[in-house]
Each structure stands twice: as C-alpha cells, then as structure tokens.
Amino acid sequence: MTDLSAFPITKKWPAQNPDVLQLYSFPTPNGVKASIALEEMGIPYEAHLVTLADADVKSPEFLSLNPNNKIPAIIDPNGPDGTPIGLFESGAILIYLAEKSGKLLGNNATERAQIIQWVMFQMGGLGPMLGQLGFFYKFAGSEWEDKRPMERYLNEGKRLLNVLNLELAGKEWITGSEFSIADIAIAPWLRALDFYGAKEAIGWEEHGNLVDYLKRFEARPAVQTGLVTPPRD
C-alpha cells in the first residue's frame, strides 16, 4: 500500500485506497476537467469533495498541495519517477494525465502541439474571460451601477465564442475528428454560460457549430459521469 503521509492534505481528506490517484475537486468548469479526463482515460481514482469555502480551499491541508487555493488538485501515487507526485492547475493536470495514459493528446507531435495550443487558449482566454463575465453578470459585480466592466467581458466573451464557432466549422472536435483534452478544457466553460444566465446576452444560439459541439460533448458517457464527480454533499 502506498504511503501518502508526506502529503498533509490526506489528513483532512484521508485516502481510502492510497494506491489509486487522489482527486481533490468540486464540480466547477475547472474542477470537472480533471474528473472527465480521468473517466475518459480509464484511470482508477478516488474523488474527494473540496468545497469552495475558505474552511476547505484555504485550509493548511489543502494549501499544502495547492498554495493558490484553487481546485482541482491531484496526488498520483504512481508518479513518473516511481514516487508519488502532487499537482495543481487544471491545464497542467490535463496534460499530465494525457501523457500518463497515452490518450487524448493526439497521435504525433504535430497533433500534440495543436491540442496543447487549444488547452492554452482556454486557460489564458476563454476561462478567465467567461469567469469574469459570470462575476459581473450574475454575482456581486451585477449589482454595480457602472456596467462598463460587464460590457467589457460580455463583448470579449462574444469574440471568443466566435473564434471557436469558426474553428469548429466542418469539425467534430476542436482539433478535428478526434476528441482530446482540448475539448475537455473548453466545453465545461461553454456550459457555464447557462449557469450564469448569460446565453441570450452573449448570443449563444447564433453560434450553431458551438451548440452542436456542446451537445456532442455532453452526450459522452464519461463526460456525464465526470460532470457530477465528486458528488456534492
């Protein structure tokens, strides 16, 4: 049995089976990237619910694994050097899991580079911009009298959706005919628009390629499981 005692997080969220990958997450757009990837790749894992409350994400135990206090994070007891490894940042986790499993990262170096390119597009653009849109459209920022910040992120969201919609013309997935970690990175953030109540404002139905793309994504059995893992209490 693998000894994970070097990871303080296991004191607050004990591993029932320390020989499998440990996932610490919550079903947000970033959180479900890891669970969907694990399901799609068939990697055995144990999921621990880490709420967004300060008592969890700002606890010493969680900060010991992710000093940036954000989910998801993982511990892989079977790391690449034969010893356990802890990781945070959803994009880094996606790439790590794809390399570990040999799945969803293309069939050659060119495809790999193109897939990582779109993962970075989500990490650096789509996720941050739509996250800010959510703050100004649904959450605390929506109460601000000055609507210029909301308009800024709404317009940038529209621009990014148009980039994706054009890229998906004639394609099943973002880099072509094969599903990849780039799709796992992108699609959960498209789903967030419904949660934010911003679909109409951003012109979602005008992006037919994206509408069909998201339906294909949500129809995948592994995605359906990953979207509700770990289950909320």
148-206 pLDDT, tens digit each: 999 999 999 999 999 999 999 999 999 999 999 999 999 999 999 999 999 999 999 99
Structural contact between residues 71 and 31, judged by C-beta atoms closer than 8 angstroms: yes
State percent of the chain over pLDDT 70: 100
Hey, what amino acid is at 168? L
Residue 57: per-residue pLDDT: 98
pLDDT of residue 1: 85
Question: In sequence order, what DSSP letters do the residues of 140-197 get, joined into one string?
Answer: GGGG-S--HHHHHHHHHHHHHHHHHHHHTTT-SBTTBSS--HHHHHHHHHHHHHHHHT
Tell me: pLDDT of 233 over 80. Answer: no
Domains of the chain, CATH where assigned:
8-103 (3.40.30.10), 109-223 (1.20.1050.10)
Closest CA to 24 of 230, 232, 233, 231: 230
DSSP sequence for the chain: ----TT-THHHHS--SSTTSEEEEE-SSTTHHHHHHHHHHHT--EEEEE--SSHHHHTSHHHHTT-TT--S-EEEESS-TTSS-EEEE-HHHHHHHHHHHHT-SS-SSHHHHHHHHHHHHHIIIIIHHHHHHHHHHHTSGGGG-S--HHHHHHHHHHHHHHHHHHHHTTT-SBTTBSS--HHHHHHHHHHHHHHHHT-HHHHTGGG-HHHHHHHHHHHTSHHHHHHTT-SPP-
| Residue 151, pLDDT score | 96
CA distance 68 to 86: 14
Contact 8, 73 (CB under 8 A): no
Residue 39's pLDDT is 98
Write down the pLDDT at residue 62. 98
Q: Is the pTM of this model over 0.95?
A: yes
pLDDT digits (tens, 9 = 90+) for 208-230: 999 999 999 999 999 999 999 99
203 Rama sector, left if φ>0, alpha if ψ -120 to 50, beta otherwise:
left
- Mean pLDDT value across residues 114-133: 98
CB distance 105 to 95 below 8 Å: yes
pLDDT bucket at 67, cuts 50 / 70 / 90: very high
Tell me what pLDDT residue 231 has: 93
CA distance 127 to 41: 23
Six-digit token string for 75: 């511990």
pLDDT at residue 220, rounded to an integer: 98
Instruction: Report, in angstroms and rounded to the nearest whole number, the Rg of the chain calculated over CA atoms.
Output: 18
90-101 vs 31-41: helix crossing angle, rounded to 10:
10
